Amino acid sequence: MRDEELERPSVHEYWFVKLSKMTSLTKRGALIVFEGCDRSGKTTQCKKLVENLRNKGITTEFLCFPDRSTAIGKVIDSYLKKEEELPDRTIHLTFAANIWENEQKIKSALQNGVTLVIDRYAYSNVAYSAAKEAMDFKWCTLPATGLPKPDVVFFLDMNMEAMEKRGGFGSERYETTNFQRSVYNNFKKLIDKSWKVLNADQKKDVLHEEILTNALSITENVKNSEIGYLW
Ligand code: FDM
Ligand code: MG
């Protein structure tokens, strides 16, 4: 048998690919991001959302940034635990690189119809880094340019009084009330029409209902649309 004969798809394969492109098999997944200050309940809501979307038959995966499992993530982990000092711009670019090293995985998941629920994304990097003295806000946005744009950002909005009442900050870097105040103000500057600002200071289940309703309509609406890019 000649090589070209081996490589030519069978009639079945040809129609499988063609029909896949025309039907739901290749409808893309949604990119759903949660943002907010520390202790705003993001992780709890992410986990619940993944579970509920899966229960509705929507293929869903969970990601979290920083992704502390990679070599780059390990540098971030030791920085956050205050075991290592790095200049502000350096750690900013390191956090950005940690998202970029997952870019292909994110894009191919979405293209293969997998919905992604992500706990923090590039917005956190801007909000936290720009809260530091001498870090320019615009400069902080630049390294994320070209990353896939979330279809929705659920911002878990908790005012400072509520946050102070919740308390329970850990001992990692950035976990102080004053710093969180600036982070919060920076998040507010990043809001665009893809954001849903939600009151995080209410019953978890009530909040979740609102998130789930929104997420379901997003997964439906993005099916035939292209992935967007930041910013
Ligand atoms: N953080 C998180 C950043 O400074 N930049 C980033 O890009 C990301 C994703 O890391 F203080 C900060 C925010 C937070 C810390 O995150 C660790 P968790 O979600 O609290 O573990
Ligand atoms: Mg934290």
> Which pLDDT tens digits describe the chain residue by residue (231 residues)?
455 555 677 787 777 766 766 655 569 999 999 999 999 999 999 999 999 999 999 999 999 999 999 999 999 999 999 999 999 999 999 999 999 999 999 999 999 999 999 999 999 999 999 999 999 999 999 999 999 999 999 999 998 888 888 877 888 999 999 999 999 999 999 999 999 999 999 999 999 999 999 999 999 999 999 999 999
Asked if residue 179 lies in contact with residue 133, where contact means CB atoms within 8 angstroms, the answer is: no
Among protein residues, the one whose CA lies closest to atom 5 of ligand 1: 125
Among protein residues, the one whose CA lies closest to atom 11 of ligand 1: 174
Nearest to 127 by CA among 188, 215, 70: 188
DSSP string, 99-124: HHTTHHHHHHHHHTT-EEEEES-HHH
This prediction's pTM: 0.90
What atom of ligand 1 comes closest to residue 43's alpha carbon?
Answer: 19
Ligand 1 center–CA 186 separation, angstroms: 14
**Mutation to probe ligand 1, out of 124, 147, 182, 230 (largest number of atoms < 8 A from CB):** 124
- Among the bound ligands, the one closest to the CA of 80: 1
Ligand 2 center–CA 183 separation, angstroms: 12
